[in-house]
Structure 1
């Protein structure tokens, strides 16, 4: 009996450490967005060579993120076909590759299909990371984030992040690297793309893969560094020779006459895949 009583506290403590419950992982999230010139594209004077033989220099840039959703995947049931024209319960307004969820988030078609059982996978949002203010693309500061409802996760596996781009501001200049040139001299440009209102469509929805298990097999403290890297490749599809200058001599990409240029640029933004740096440790 005495030996049993001596071991009882140890057994109880061990049981508490192994039982399922809250706090399997605690996130310490941060975000950084940066415009990153590529050494192989250096054209001198701060310009970067584009695939179109135009050369571009970024003078200022900032991006706004409505939020970043952290998604977890788990096994699902039988397959059900997803029809955007008739979304399942919990979703509405399906268009442009995503649907509006009742919780206010935007969910990709493929995630809804997975949730319905296609492929046997269910995707759920485990944390929402609001991002306040603009992120300077040239200074590229690292900004700490909070979590809703909590940075403390139950047992799960964070498999991806969904980024909502709600604003993009850029100024810079473009010149032609061809001889003969398609236009003479240097053209300056500006872009001020924004959304307004809580129900407004984002400019782009990005998705990046993650692998952050929340369990007893991994250390609980998770430093999650989310990164968005924009490069000159964004501008490869833009035909700057068709862009129209305004009365002030600047190519305003928000002007109606430059809608095709703006659309080409935002389409490339939508193809960017964010990345993450994950460091784990004990408390």
Structure 2
């Protein structure tokens, strides 16, 4: 028996189906999520370390005052991982075959690439774990650490993401500039009075290795279960703890009397500073909404 519906009723039934179909479809070139990224970096004095006159107490009993500070980033990579598992632990002091010279958060691979510790750990975990760069965020200019402000970023190749989950951000630091002064709080003091210092480090050349590579966890699903608009605020906070490992009495002064970390004779102190910098963990603030 054939059932017939009035035209008005048939249209009423078809209209919701059409709307449902349109709601589930993606426009051409439209991803599951669209990123609206920004970056902000800051140097933040800590109240518990206040030593007066703008100085901050360090674990070494030196006291440091920061007068100017800026950071340069080559870019930030947004990564997604899949697969993996296992319990093999990666030890940077004893890298697995195919890797060498592990420092500042990465190792040199046999083909000359820089590979993050986390990526090597994922490989050792087995199970076909892979890490994919979903977006590269170039950062133009220096970030003023004493006057922090969010800077909007563009995405390469696109801010539209396929179905995935961003799991990690990788920051390549290519320049550090700081000036200030230090004094010794020990009795007897390791040096008298205050000493000005200067840090002016830069990775030069198109193929130059970054000064340090930082990584921070992300949890940003790109799917139909979450709102598509993703305001991704990437933030880095440096504190006086960055200088705790440095023995300022071993920093040689330049011709102008300023303690200069970039001077050839200060290689050991410079390395300690960069290793400490590589331990800083960036964070992310995520707000989701409409596209």
TM > 0.5: yes
Aligned to 2:265: 257
**Where in structure 1 are there 5+ consecutive unaligned residues?**
88-92
1:14-48 Cα deviation digits (max 9, x unpaired): 23433578421111100001001011000011100
Alignment size in residue pairs: 277
Which ranges of structure 2 fall in alignment gaps of 5 or more residues?
A: none
1:213 Cα deviation (Å)?
A: 0.6
1:55 alignment partner in structure 2: 63
- CA RMSD after TM alignment: 2.8
User: CA separation in 2, counterparts of 1:130 and 1:101?
Assistant: 27
Greater Cα shift, 75-84 or 236-245: 75-84
Tell me which residue corresponds to 1:277.
285
Q: TM-score when scaled to structure 1?
A: 0.88
SS of equivalent residue, structure 1 residue 245:
coil
Determine if contact 1:69/1:129 at 8 Å carries over to the other structure: yes
Partner of 1:41: 49
Aligned residue in 2 for 1:218: 226
Q: Does 1:177 align with 2:177?
A: no
Alignment partners' CA distance in 2, 1:49 and 1:79: 40
The equivalent residue for 1:8 is: 14
Q: Deviations over 1:195-243 (max 9, x none)?
A: 1122110000000001111111111111100001010000000001111
Could you tell me which of 38, 41, 46 is aligned with 1:30? Answer: 38
Kept after mapping to 2: 8 A contact 1:79/1:120: no
CA distance in 2, matches of 1:242, 1:119: 48
- Do the aligned residues in 1 keep the contact of 2:34 with 2:229 (CA within 8 Å)? yes
Mark the CA change 1:272 to 1:139 in structure 2 (over 3 Å): closer, same or farther: same
Greater Cα radius of gyration, structure 1 or 2? 2
Structure 1 residue 258 displacement after superposition: 1.4
Compare 260-269 and 20-29 and name the one that shifted more.
Answer: 20-29
Distance across 2 between alignment mates of 1:15 and 1:209: 36
Q: Distance in 1 between matches of 2:213 and 2:97?
A: 20
Change (3 A) 1:138 1:105: farther
Partner SS for 1:44? coil
Which one of 138, 155, 158 corresponds to residue 150 of structure 1?
A: 158
Alpha-carbon contact 2:98-2:110 (below 8 Å) kept: no
